[in-house]
């Protein structure tokens, strides 16, 4: 996509790469008292897990992993020896450092999309759905209402039963959606 400003043209196609590189670079920084073990993953590698860490006294950081890390692997020296794996798209909100107190949440849909991840239509909230190109406030409300009245979607084609979604609009939005039936 080209954008013109005066007589200059700017190619904006590279912007997502800059955002990912900025987040990966942030992963290299010292994390305010803890050295985060997440070694930045080359963009050439297959990143399967994106984990966001929010600290109480600094900006959040997002780390990419080839696999699913544990909390002890993510924050060594945290005193946690749990071997529960963090799922892709997890946000770890650090509430206090000593003793370590944290809360696991899901990353917002806009963050998932930024990192090329799909949004689970059965777990998505209004804002998550609205982050998807082609879904606005009224359509997101109809999707949520349909899900509440009829239960989880079993397949993406079930979205065709939502008023306002036809085959053409489904073909545009399905690239951003997934269904995880294991939850």
Q: What is the pLDDT along the chain (183 residues), one digit of tens a residue?
A: 444 544 444 444 444 544 554 554 444 433 444 444 445 455 546 778 899 999 888 888 888 888 888 888 887 766 666 677 888 899 999 888 777 788 999 999 999 998 889 999 999 999 999 999 999 999 999 999 999 999 999 999 999 999 999 999 999 999 999 998 765
Distance CA 118, CA 93 (A): 22
At residue 183, the pLDDT reads: 55
The closest of 84, 83, 80 to 102, measured between CA atoms, is: 80
Domains of the chain listed by start with CATH number:
9-113 (no CATH), 118-178 (1.10.150.320)
H-type alpha helices, 4-136: 15-26, 71-74, 109-114, 126-130
Reported pTM? 0.66
């Amino acid at each position: 996509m080209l954008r013109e400003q005066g007589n200059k043209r700017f190619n904006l196609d590279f912007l997502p790469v800059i955002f990912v590189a900025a987040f990966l670079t942030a992963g290299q920084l010292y994390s305010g008292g803890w050295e985060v073990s997440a070694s930045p993953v080359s963009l050439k590698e297959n990143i399967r897990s994106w984990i966001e860490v929010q600290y109480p006294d600094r900006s959040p950081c997002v780390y990419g992993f080839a696999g699913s890390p544990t909390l002890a692997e993510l924050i060594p020296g945290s005193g946690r020896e749990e071997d529960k794996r963090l799922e892709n798209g997890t946000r770890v909100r650090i509430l206090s450092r000593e003793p370590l107190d944290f809360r696991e949440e899901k990353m917002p849909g806009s963050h998932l999309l930024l990192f090329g991840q799909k949004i689970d239509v059965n777990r998505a909230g209004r804002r998550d759905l609205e982050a998807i190109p082609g879904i606005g406030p009224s359509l997101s409300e109809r999707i949520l209402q349909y899900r509440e009245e009829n239960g989880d979607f079993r397949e993406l084609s079930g979205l065709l039963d939502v008023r306002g979604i036809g085959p053409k609009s489904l073909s545009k939005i399905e690239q951003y959606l997934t269904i995880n039936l294991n939850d």
